[in-house]
Structure formats: structure tokens, C-alpha cells
Amino acid sequence: MTDKYTQIVSGGLGRDVARKLGLPQPVLLRRYQPGAPLISGPVLVNGDSAGADDLATTLLGWGLDVRRNALPKEKLGAIILVLDSVQHPEDLGKPVLAVGASLRDLAPNGRVITVSRAPQGTSSPATAAARQGIDGLLRSLAKELRSGATANGVVLAEDLATTSPSALGAVRFFLSGRSAYVDGQFLSVTSAAGRMPAVADKPLAGKVAVVTGAARGIGAAIARTLHRDGAKVVLVDIPAAGDHLAEVANQVHGTALQLDISRSDAGQRIIEHAVERHGRLDIVVHNAGITRDRLLANMDQGRWQSVIAVNIAAQLRINEALLASGHFKDAPRIVSVASTSGIAGNRGQTNYGASKAGVIGMVRSTAPLMASFGGTINAVAPGFIETEMTARMPLAIREAARRLNSLKQGGQPTDVAEAIAFLASDSAGGISGEVLRVCGQQLVGA
């Protein structure tokens, strides 16, 4: 669905009128286009650690215009603040304030990225305080940025270098247009697994991916994005959506499987179809989901059970089949679609919130099981995304939901798809058990 307000106020007279009236001023976001530069403008790498030096050298190898010191009034495409060696909260002031002095030079749709370490990796209270402090400063900074700029963080395990494969993968994702609607979020890199793709625009080349709920909306966008990135795609949806499913499958040159994923044999049928048609199975995206909203006082068993059955119980059964299969052992990826409703809750969605929070719990618990054969499992949690469902919301509620985030607009299905494609790639091999919110830094709730 088109957000006409954003189009009107993103430039010219509309922008001037919105500014004078004190109205929200969203801008058109820089989204990923194959072949486009990773980032436009110089990248300032701030930090005095060896890790900062190593990261700057690697970014130079990517062909980026890297600065170690800001030049006066030079427009910056991105600022990377490397804080991997901080030991005390007092260590934060100098590098953070230096970045603050450069923020006015950050270009529209620019990026700010912190690289730090996990508080849990130290026994020192002072060091833990400094590392946790980065969480608060980054999320606060994200709410201060304007003109489509975003701020996100990469959190490294204690023994990982700033140039470990998935640290670089996360930095690249946050720099790129793939992360246009990801703001105020962190990705934790917990292992040295993963590798950068040989061809940047085809990170999923040679992979076979299954996407459930692929006939419409976010699911169709996921299928198209995975195909664009080089994967062969199996599209799954219920028989009633067969015509739409076939249409999307034809667009991506994939295969369609009409299947109710709540069936007890759904996992086995998915595996058999992928192996029979494509010879292997590398990626499973659990996107299928339903809503049956009611206040809890008016909730009946049918509405409650149907949401739980599709949104979480089906995923659990399919994952059991995947983990037991010999066809899903070559560094496979599972990515589930959760929701900010499962994090912050939402009125009238106790069943949906429970199911999506359940997805988050499942992902965290399954991660160690995947690690034994080099696999990962992660989730994305969308906020307000422009879909057929949100288009049916009352106008006033829809407009409020669009503006209640740091980017002052709704996301697009492709924003969710881009995050999933990254987490499904080899460059995210050291990231598992994570929940990445794709919500423009939604300001309501947790």
C-alpha cells in the first residue's frame, strides 16, 4: 500500500509545509538495489583500538572511502563507532562525543553503527556497565537522527575480532539499503562461523529455500527477494491460495506446494518436495501466520487454538522434522517471522502475542540444537508493515501506527524480506538465536 503522505512531504513544497506546521517529516528511504553502491559518501571509522584499525582496513578493501578522522563539513555516508575495548563508563565520553560532533555532517539516509562487546562476556562490573551503556546510547541516538538515517549495533562475543565473518556481514547489512527499516537494533555475533559471499549481489546462489505463507504480502516479497539473491525457492501455502501461489511461483521460477502447514506430516512433505524437485534443502522461512483478534474477555477456544496451531505449533513440528532429517545438515538456516506484538503486546491480540512470543522462545531454544551441524535459527519481528491487512485498518489508527516510530512511516514487505535474506545467508553464519526487529524503532511498548 502506498503511503501518500510520505511521498508528499519528502521534498519540495510539501516538506516546507510539514515543517512549518510541525507535522511528521518522513523521507523516502534508501532501499537496496542490485548493483548500487553499498553506501554513498565517506565512511568515518571512529575508535582507537586495534579492532578499529582492522575494520577500517577491511572496509578500504571493499572499495569504500574510509576516514579515520572527520574532515570539516564533509558529508558522511556512515559513521562506525568501534567500542570493542571500553573498560569503564568513563571511557565512553571521548569517542561518543567525537561522533556527536560529526552527526550534523551525516547525509540523508546515512548510517551510524556501533561495534562493541557483550556485557555477559566480562566479570568486571565496570566493564559490563560500559558495554550495557552502549545499548542505551545507541537506542537514544537512533531517536535523534533525521532524514531517514538509522543507528544500529553489532555486539561481539569476547573472543571475536571486529573482522570475523559475521561481524563484517552485520556491518555490511547495516550499511546497505537492505536495512532501511531496521533502526535502534543490535545483532549479536557469537561465533566465528560464516563467510562473505563470493558475489555480493547473489549471496544465496546455489541454495534451496522454502517459504511458507508465500502467496501474498510479506511471504511473496520473501520469495522474490530470495530468488533475486540467487536461491531456488519452494513456495508453500494453503490450497485456497493456490492461484496466487502459482502466480508468485511463476514469477520467481520456483515450485509451488499447496499444503496446510498445521498438518502433522507437513515437515516431511516439505522436505520430500524440496529434495525431489531441487536435490537439497538449505533454508526454511516460517512466514505463514494468521490473526483472529478479540479482547480476551470475548475470546473463544476456536480463535485461540487456530492462531496457536498455525503460528507456533506448526513451526515446532516442522522444525522437529528438519532436525531429524539427513537432508538438512549442511549449515542450514531457519528464519521465523515473529512480531513486535510478541515483544510489546497489542490490545486484542492475546492469542497472536502469545504465538509470536512463542516463536521467539522457540528460536532461542533451538539455536544450540542447530549449532551441532553448523546451522542457525533466527527470527525477524516486523512492526507496522504496509500490507493488505494494514490497509484495512481505520484511517486514523493506520496513520498513527505509521508515524509512531523513529522513521515516521510504515515499512514495506521488502524490508522484512531483506532482513530474512541476510539472516539466511552464509555471512550470518555466526549469528543464531537472535530476534531482529524490523520496525523503524517502534516507539510503543518494550
Domain boundaries, the chain: 31-189, 208-438
Check residue 446 and give its pLDDT: 58
Task: Give mean pLDDT, residues 410-439.
Answer: 97
3-class secondary structure for 315-379?
A: HHHHHHHHHHCCCCCCCCEEEEECCCHHHHCCCCEHHHHHHHHHHHHHHHHHHHHHHCCCCEEEE
- Please identify which of the residues 5, 32, 181, 352 carries the catalytic annotation: 352
Check residue 128 and give its pLDDT: 98
Q: Do domains 31-189 and 208-438 have the same CATH topology?
A: yes
Q: Which residues, including other chains, have CB under 8 Å from residue 101's CB and lie 6 or more apart?
A: 70
Check residue 117 and give its pLDDT: 98
181 a catalytic residue: no
Reported confidence tier of residue 2, pLDDT bands at 50, 70, 90: low
Check residue 244 and give its pLDDT: 97
Check residue 400 and give its pLDDT: 76
Cell of 61: 578493501
Cell of 346: 497489542
Q: What is the pLDDT of residues 24-76, one digit of tens each?
A: 778 899 999 999 999 999 999 999 999 999 999 999 999 999 999 998 889 99
Lowest mean pLDDT among 57-66, 73-82, 199-208: 199-208
Reported confidence tier of residue 396, pLDDT bands at 50, 70, 90: confident
CB of 387 within 8 A of CB of 156?
A: no
Q: Is 68 helix (H, G, I), strand (E, B) or coil?
A: coil
Q: What is the pLDDT of residues 85-143, one digit of tens each?
A: 999 999 999 999 999 999 999 999 999 999 999 999 999 999 999 999 999 999 999 99
Check residue 408 and give its pLDDT: 92
CB of 330 within 8 A of CB of 433?
A: no
Check residue 444 and give its pLDDT: 66
Task: Output the pTM of the full model.
Answer: 0.95
CB of 154 within 8 A of CB of 187?
A: yes
Q: Is pLDDT of 445 > 70?
A: no
As a whole number of angstroms, the distance between CA 286 and CA 416 comes to 13
Third-level CATH fold of 208-438 = Rossmann fold (3.40.50)
**Per the CATH hierarchy, to which homologous superfamily does domain 31-189 belong?**
NAD(P)-binding Rossmann-like Domain (3.40.50.720)
